[in-house]
């Protein structure tokens, strides 16, 4: 059981409960539900905690300017759509069970994320002078109403079999309380504009695209000052296709249109939009191709299981389905503890990557929160960037310390090394296990000027 792929286990369970024809789709929905919850569980979305109970605050999902929160909401919307579509295919006798076990947890998780993130996005977009905050606040209020309605439905299942079972505000914790829904006045700014995915970074004014392969990127067309405006994609677009070709920015859509662009990776990609009497040229920048993992928004993401070791990784074991990378590596439980000075012939995990930016960088070594195997052990790794010195990183925490609590809230333990300058080109990171039981999720190479993502940054 412990060595079974979680996706296969879920598919087998769902097939037994709801029929073989639906097992794989239910498992896929639930795996995405668990991946989203792994990064931040619904009950932790208020960025509050217990022991002691604290009030909610703005989530870290909007630190980068909103794109990370938008992508999280889109993922939730997708699994809700799929779960609702599957419900219609089930016989009536199975729908109560399906609602209880699949649809209710998926949709309620989506709704609490929507209520919280829409309000955070409303406040963030108000700071940016955008016209959508009032729409986002209304959508947050609608999400709370949906939470109440689904809990009422749950409590009437089976002719009242589960009456009083479901409560949308257990222990009356602050994260579950219905919030206030502010309103905002129109910005003094006028005219149409483009908002790129990383507005608080050095790439705030551009949309980088990888060369030599297809890619998908999103940007938002905005009419400031709550002014209605017709818009359309100009016919001279080259090597890039917009998901929406024309429309109107008005109160119904918050005077905004999110547009997904599909690019083929060729040089010369170009796209312009006509909006409210102006022509807006999208600043597309095709970046040089690389055979190695490279930057996206000035960040390189290296999932732990992607280590390149010619002789394998004898000191590590893959943990299927675990972590943001979906396949974390755990240092063998029978690994003898050692120091960086006594590695001998130990084989490291090795990660090669390519950078194009020139400047300082922070390497974030993201681990899964665990306690040391015994009181005699610690949770250490040794890391090396290129031919630099070995640095020892220690994830050890004791008991229910404040650091442990924060690690559990986000399902990540973080240690970093910094370098004043990481020159453009190919680089190598090596990771050695010094103690048994360390669980490595991923490595983020974050160049100075990158957006401040909370979870795993986007990667190609």
Going by DSSP bridges, is the β-strand pair 240-242/256-263 parallel, antiparallel, or unpaired? antiparallel
Sheet holding 380-385, edge to edge: 349-355, 425-433, 380-385, 391-394
Q: What end-to-end distance do the CA atoms of the chain give, in Å?
A: 33
CATH 3.40.50.2300 fits 299-447, yes or no: no
168: CB partners within 8 A, 6+ apart: 108, 147, 148, 151, 176
Residue 112 vs residues 4, 99, 179, 349, 376: alpha-carbon distances, Å:
31, 17, 11, 39, 42
> Which pTM value belongs to this model?
0.95
191-287: CATH topology: Immunoglobulin-like (2.60.40)
Residue 270 scores a pLDDT above 70: yes
One-character DSSP codes across 222-266: EEETT--EEEEE-TT-BSEEES--EEEE-GGGTTEEEEEEEE-S-
- Average pLDDT of the segment spanning 385-398: 96
Domain boundaries, the chain: 6-176, 191-287, 299-447
CATH 1.10.132.20 fits 6-176, yes or no: no
437: CB partners within 8 A, 6+ apart: 330, 331, 333, 370, 372, 373, 377, 379
pLDDT tens-digit series, residues 327-354? 999 999 999 999 999 998 899 999 999 9
6 pLDDT band, cuts 50/70/90, is confident
Tell me 216's DSSP state: E
pLDDT tens-digit series, residues 70-94? 999 999 999 999 999 999 999 999 9
Q: Taking each helix axis from N to C terminus, what angle separates 104-127 and 67-87, rounded to the nearest 10 degrees? A: 150
137: CB partners within 8 A, 6+ apart: 118, 119, 122, 181, 182, 183
**What are phi and psi for residue 241, nearest 5 degrees?**
-125, 135
């Amino acid at each position: 059981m412990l060595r079974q792929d979680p996706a296969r286990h879920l598919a087998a369970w769902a097939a037994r409960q709801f029929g073989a024809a639906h097992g794989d789709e239910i498992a896929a929905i639930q795996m995405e539900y668990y991946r989203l919850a792994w990064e931040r569980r619904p009950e932790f979305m208020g960025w509050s905690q217990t022991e002691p109970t604290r009030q909610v605050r703005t989530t870290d999902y909007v630190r980068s300017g909103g794109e990370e929160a938008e992508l999280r909401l889109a993922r939730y919307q997708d699994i809700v759509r799929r779960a609702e579509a599957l419900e219609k295919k089930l016989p009536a006798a199975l729908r109560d069970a399906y609602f209880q076990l699949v649809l209710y947890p998926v949709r309620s998780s989506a709704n609490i994320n929507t209520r919280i993130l829409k309000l955070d996005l409303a406040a963030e977009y108000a700071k940016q002078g955008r016209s959508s905050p009032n729409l986002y606040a209304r959508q947050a209020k609608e999400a709370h109403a949906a939470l109440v309605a689904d809990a009422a439905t749950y409590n009437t299942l089976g002719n009242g079999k589960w009456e009083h079972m479901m409560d949308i505000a257990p222990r009356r914790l602050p994260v579950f309380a219905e919030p206030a829904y502010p309103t905002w006045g129109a910005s003094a700014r006028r005219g149409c504009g483009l908002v790129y995915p990383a507005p608080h970074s050095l790439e705030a004014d551009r949309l980088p695209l990888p060369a030599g392969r297809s890619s998908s990127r999103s940007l938002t067309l905005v009419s400031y000052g709550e002014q209605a405006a017709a818009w359309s994609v100009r016919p001279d677009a080259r090597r890039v296709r917009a998901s929406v070709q024309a429309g109107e920015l008005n109160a119904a859509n918050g005077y905004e249109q999110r547009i997904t662009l599909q690019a083929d990776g060729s040089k010369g990609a170009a796209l312009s939009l006509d909006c409210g009497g102006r022509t807006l040229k999208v600043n597309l920048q095709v970046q040089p191709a690389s055979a190695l993992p490279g930057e996206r928004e000035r960040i390189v993401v290296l999932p732990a299981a992607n280590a390149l070791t010619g002789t394998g990784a004898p000191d590590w074991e893959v943990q299927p389905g675990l972590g943001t990378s979906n396949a974390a590596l755990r240092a063998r439980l029978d690994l003898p503890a050692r120091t960086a000075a006594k590695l001998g012939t130990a084989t490291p995990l090795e990660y090669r990557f390519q950078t194009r930016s020139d400047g300082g960088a922070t390497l974030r070594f993201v681990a899964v929160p665990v306690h040391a195997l015994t009181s005699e052990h610690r949770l250490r790794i040794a890391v090396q960037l290129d031919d630099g010195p070995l640095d020892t990183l220690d994830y050890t925490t004791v008991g229910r310390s404040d650091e442990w609590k924060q690690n559990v809230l986000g399902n990540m333990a973080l240690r970093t090394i910094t370098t004043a300058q990481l020159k453009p080109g190919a680089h190598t990171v090596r990771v050695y296990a010094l103690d048994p039981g360390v669980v490595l999720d991923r490595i983020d190479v974050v160049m100075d000027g990158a957006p401040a993502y909370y979870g795993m940054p986007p990667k190609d």
